Structure 1
């Protein structure tokens, strides 16, 4: 299959905006009651949008302790778990280790490497949506911005300044909260729309038969 190109940032900017969550639908649990509510909501679904954020490392060779924030979302709500809090770390560990819950996102190879040490357990049920688009000829690193443009015909704005901000802060800024929630919310919305989008794509080429072994 010839290589297909996703929309550029400039092309995506011409699309209507992706409808982000209202502030009341973004949960940053801090109390025992809020963690109990988050646990009940998250353990009761079978698919969650997923992403992580880490404070930037500006020194070569600096130790990467893994993500500071885990984001989980349904199409209607998002939860931001600040892993410096023991209750948040425990909840993230429970949800990410539960193979019954699919965690869908983009570019998850680094998370698969860094999360076991951070969580103390191996994540299960992670599904990298970049692989869906690779099957349809878009390469291996489509990313959430281009995927939203391709599948939903919408623009997902992403701030470079916010993406490289300090995610280990005790209190996240409103901009960080919006950014982090969108990065998990968008995959959750995309997951629902992907079957119809895939059905409309050109047929996949047949798998190549393995070459017979050479004679000795």
Structure 2
């Protein structure tokens, strides 16, 4: 089967804009009351959009301290947990280790490697949505922008400049807050529509059975 090509940035730009969260729906907890509210909301969610941001390294051999920010979101709200705060580190550890909460995002291989050391626990029930699109003939790194275009028919703009900004800053800029929230809110918003999108895709040809094998790989489906 020929590889299917995701929409380019230029093609995505022609679509209606993705409805990003209002500033009041993006939470950066700092007080005990704000952390308590964040904990209650996050632990009540069955599915959360998930991403992290790390301080960029521009020097070869520089020490990588791991993620500085953990982003978690529902379709209605996003929470940005700054891991220099002990309360944020504890909350991220608790939520990510929770088996009953599905965490969905894109490009999560590096997070799986770096978060156990940073958090002191292994993230549980995490699904990299890039693998869903790979099952349907796309490459292994479709990414959030193209996925939003494919599934929702909308354009989610991403800033390269903000992606390499200082995520370990004690105070995040408004642009950083919007960018980080989008990276978790996007997966949370498209996940409910993903099953219907998968069902509408053309069938993927079964892999050719090699001589001497009796169990060709079977195609799976996303968890719900």
Bigger Cα displacement from structure 2, 82-91 vs 57-66: 57-66
Runs of 5+ unmatched residues, structure 1: none
TM-score (norm 2): 0.93
Give the aligned partner of residue 180 of structure 1. Answer: 180
Q: Distance in 2 between matches of 1:105 and 1:210?
A: 33
Matches within 5 A, 1:19-168: 19-168=19-168
Q: Distance in 1 between matches of 2:169 and 2:32?
A: 20
1:50-69: per-residue Cα shift (whole Å, max 9, x none)? 00001100110111111000
Q: Distance in 2 between matches of 1:204 and 1:31?
A: 50
* SS state at 2:62 partner: coil
Bigger Cα displacement from structure 2, 95-104 vs 83-92: 95-104
Give the aligned partner of residue 202 of structure 1. Answer: 202
How far did 1:103 drift? 0.5
How far did 1:209 drift? 3.5
* SS state at 2:59 partner: coil
How far did 1:80 drift? 0.2
How far did 1:211 drift? 3.1
Q: Distance in 1 between matches of 2:62 and 2:169?
A: 19
Q: Distance in 2 between matches of 1:152 and 1:167?
A: 29
Q: Distance in 1 between matches of 2:40 and 2:33?
A: 11
Q: Distance in 2 between matches of 1:211 and 1:62?
A: 48
TM-score (norm 1): 0.96
How far did 1:207 drift? 4.4
1:115-168: per-residue Cα shift (whole Å, max 9, x none)? 000001111111000000000001100000000111111110100111100001
Q: Distance in 2 between matches of 1:60 and 1:199?
A: 45
How far did 1:108 drift? 0.4
Q: Distance in 2 between matches of 1:83 and 1:19?
A: 27
RMSD after superposition: 1.0
Runs of 5+ unmatched residues, structure 2: 214-224
How far did 1:210 drift? 5.0
* SS state at 1:43 partner: helix
Q: Distance in 1 between matches of 2:183 and 2:95?
A: 18
Report the number of matched residues: 213
* SS state at 2:39 partner: helix
